Amino acid sequence: MQEYWVPHDNTVLHCLDSCPDNGEAAPLLISPGLSEPAESYIDTIRALEPRRCIVFAHRGRGKSSAPSSGYTLEDHVEDIEAVVKFFDLQRFYLMGYSRGVSYALGYVMRNSSRLEGLILAEYPAVHKQMGAGWADHYLQSSWGNQRGSDLMDEQVVRGIERDARERSFRSSLHQISCPVLVLRGTGKESLLSEEEVREYQQKMKNVQVVVFNQAGHTLKETEFHRFVRVLKTYLHSGNKEK
82 and 187 fall within a common domain: yes
* Angstrom distance (rounded) from CA 126 to CA 166: 7
Confidence at 238, pLDDT banded by 50, 70, 90: very low
Question: Is 153 found in the same domain as 211?
Answer: no
Which tens digit of pLDDT belongs to each residue from 191-212? Answer: 999 999 999 999 998 999 999 9
- CATH code, 215: 3.40.50.1820
Tell me the average pLDDT of the chain.
94
Please indicate, yes or no, if residue 211 is contained in any of the structural domains: yes
The percentage of residues in the chain with a pLDDT greater than 90, rounded to a whole number, is 87
Single out the residue in 163, 185, 216 at which a domain terminates. Answer: 163
Q: How confident is the model at residue 145 (pLDDT cuts 50, 70, 90)?
A: confident
Q: Are residues 115 and 136 in the same domain?
A: no
Same domain, yes or no: 134 and 124:
no
Whether residue 188 lies inside any domain: the answer is yes
Number of domains forming the structure of the chain = 2
- Distances from the Cα of 221 to the Cα of 185, 212, 226, angstroms: 12, 12, 10
Query: Are residues 190 and 85 part of one domain?
Result: yes
Looking at the predicted structure, is the pLDDT value of residue 178 above 80?
yes
Based on the domain organization, do 34 and 60 belong to the same domain? yes
Q: Quick one: 139 and 188 in the same domain?
A: no
Does residue 44 fall inside a structural domain? yes
Are 65 and 110 part of one and the same domain?
Answer: yes
Domain annotation covers residue 213: yes
User: pTM (2 decimals)?
Assistant: 0.94
Residue 242, domain member (yes or no): no
Q: Do residues 214 and 153 share a domain? A: no
**DSSP of 14-70:** EEEES-TT--SS--EEEE--TT--GGGGHHHHHHTTTS-EEEEPPTTSTTS---SS-
In this structure, the answer to whether residues 125 and 143 fall within a common structural domain is: no
pLDDT of residue 241: 43
**Domain region containing 216:** 2-129+164-237
Q: What is the pLDDT of residues 18-50, one digit of tens each?
A: 989 888 899 999 999 999 999 999 999 999 999
